[in-house]
Amino acid sequence: MEIPKKPIEELRKEGSRHIPDTIQLSQGSGGSMMEALIEKVITKKLGIKSSFVGSGIDKLEDAGIIDLGDIKLAFTTDGCTVDPMFYPGGSLGSLSVSATINDLAVMGAKPLAISFGLILEEGLPLEILEKTLDKMAEVCKESNVPVITGDTKVMERGKIDKLVINTAGVGIITGDIISDYGAQSGDKILVSGTMGDHGISLIGLRFGFESELKSDEAPLWGMMEGLLKIGGITSAKDATRGGFSPNINELARKSNVCFYVHEDKIPIKPEAKRLGEVLGVDPLSTACEGKIIMTVRPDKADEILTSMRQHAYGKEAAIIGEVKKEPNGQVILETEVGGKRVLHTPVGELYPRIC
């Protein structure tokens, strides 16, 4: 099969790039519709330049960079609306903190502090709020990242579904900034573990399927800190909304290179495959909440893989492919039967409120 070669400008138009007149659920799910909303509406309105902003909202990275000369800070924010609020492997509260920590970690930033914003529905049982805050505190303690400020609002009954959490975090960068734009031809592509666990387990739970599969939710700074000491990381992204497919496509597109991936090397739990087939959900196109996709220099790949596998959250890490020059901006999947196909960015998540 001959893979078509397209310029990066054409690739950015793939998928649904139309902006409808009203907000759609798919615009919050990590696919091409969300990308279009952010690029054509949000960054257009808010892409304000400043001399101390090293990397702003227009870069569409996991965190922005504040450059103060001798000190560089990463700053990020996350809104969490996951339903149900408590699930095997995690919860709305713990997810809100882990997501913020991970966005800083993949930029090469040591998380320093977190803020929170709670929007509560009138009538929410106090025990649910307390349990949610306990789960947030557990992750903060594990990662040694304190919550230092916050805000709380209450809305009328029926105006919001129970509880929405927004968290923001700041981290300090003492080494190189890890960027979405840094992958280079010859790099190896790694993932820190199995794909699709979070999304498939939550969707299965909603439909009443009994399964041993659980969310992969985890704070990843501890693992990432060790990898940064090894060095050689050229790009990194946590595979959250939309999962593997949209996030690896984003790395390839921004770096203007080709990600050549071996399908049989991508770790996927057998239970995720089975349940995904029943639900009609591709494990490669649904959310992860404790996994990193990264590219590294080939001379560092084995050492980084070994370090990942020694960590509790990286035992199933794998080298899944390599970076090539062309066709630039694309992800090419070598299938298990030896064929090749383009792995496209999905339009959006099939089910809302996965993260």
Q: What DSSP element (H or E) covers 197?
A: helix 197-206
**CATH code of the domain covering residue 217:** 3.90.650.10
Mean pLDDT of 246-264: 96
Instruction: Examine the domain organization and report whether 198 and 309 are in the same domain.
Output: yes
**Could you tell me the two tokens for 116?**
């929170």
Mean pLDDT of 171-198: 96
Instruction: Examine the domain organization and report whether 226 and 324 are in the same domain.
Output: yes
What integer pLDDT is reported at residue 28 of this predicted model? 61
User: How many domains are there within the chain?
Assistant: 2
State the DSSP string of 107-143.
Answer: TT-EEEEEEEEEEEETT--HHHHHHHHHHHHHHHHHH
Residue 32 belongs to a domain: no
Beta-ladder partners of 321: 189, 261
Question: 47 pLDDT exceeds 80?
Answer: no
What integer pLDDT is reported at residue 46 of this predicted model? 75
- pLDDT tens digits along 24-44: 766 665 567 767 776 777 777
Residue 353 belongs to a domain: no
Question: 77 pLDDT exceeds 80?
Answer: yes
Q: What percent of the chain shows pLDDT beyond 70?
A: 88
Longest dimension (CA), the chain: 60
Question: 71 pLDDT exceeds 60?
Answer: yes
- CB-based burial, 171-205: b 16+ in 10 Å, e otherwise: bebeeebbbbebbeeebbbbbbbbbbbbbbbbbbb
Question: 113 pLDDT exceeds 70?
Answer: yes
Instruction: Examine the domain organization and report whether 57 and 127 are in the same domain.
Output: yes
Q: Which residue has the higher pLDDT, 173 or 40?
A: 173
Q: Which of 248, 251, 102, 231 is nearest to 181 (CA)?
A: 251
Res. 15 pLDDT band, cuts 50 70 90: very low
What integer pLDDT is reported at residue 14 of this predicted model? 46
Residues in contact with 96: Cβ distance below 8 Å, sequence separation at least 6, in sequence order: 78, 80, 116, 136, 165, 166, 167
Instruction: Examine the domain organization and report whether 109 and 227 are in the same domain.
Output: no
- pLDDT tens digits along 286-326: 999 999 999 999 999 999 999 999 999 999 999 999 999 99
Mean pLDDT rounded to a whole number for the chain: 90
**Could you tell me the two tokens for 75?**
């700053």
Instruction: Examine the domain organization and report whether 126 and 210 are in the same domain.
Output: no
- The last residue of one of the domains, among 173, 202, 229, is 173
For 64, 201, 257, 259, 322, the CA distances from 6, given in Å and listed in that order, are: 30, 36, 12, 14, 19
Residue 25 belongs to a domain: no
Residue 180 belongs to a domain: no
Instruction: Examine the domain organization and report whether 152 and 212 are in the same domain.
Output: no
What integer pLDDT is reported at residue 163 of this predicted model? 96
- The last residue of one of the domains, among 146, 173, 200, is 173
- Distance (Å, rounded) from C-alpha 193 to C-alpha 312? 11
Residue 3 belongs to a domain: no
Question: 188 pLDDT exceeds 60?
Answer: yes
Question: 138 pLDDT exceeds 90?
Answer: yes
**CATH code of the domain covering residue 92:** 3.30.1330.10
Instruction: Examine the domain organization and report whether 227 and 326 are in the same domain.
Output: yes
Q: What percent of the chain shows pLDDT beyond 90?
A: 78
Query: The domain containing residue 86 runs over which residues?
Result: 47-173
- Distance (Å, rounded) from C-alpha 287 to C-alpha 269? 14
Question: 8 pLDDT exceeds 80?
Answer: no
pTM: 0.89
Residue 18 belongs to a domain: no
Q: Which residue has the higher pLDDT, 52 or 210?
A: 210
Instruction: Examine the domain organization and report whether 163 and 202 are in the same domain.
Output: no
Q: Which of 201, 222, 223 is nearest to 210 (CA)?
A: 201
Kindly report whether the peptide bond that precedes residue 283 is cis, defined as omega within 30 degrees of 0.
no
Residue 20 belongs to a domain: no
- The last residue of one of the domains, among 118, 144, 173, is 173
Q: What DSSP element (H or E) covers 168?
A: strand 163-173
Instruction: Examine the domain organization and report whether 160 and 302 are in the same domain.
Output: no
Question: 160 pLDDT exceeds 50?
Answer: yes
Question: 146 pLDDT exceeds 90?
Answer: yes
Residue 9 belongs to a domain: no
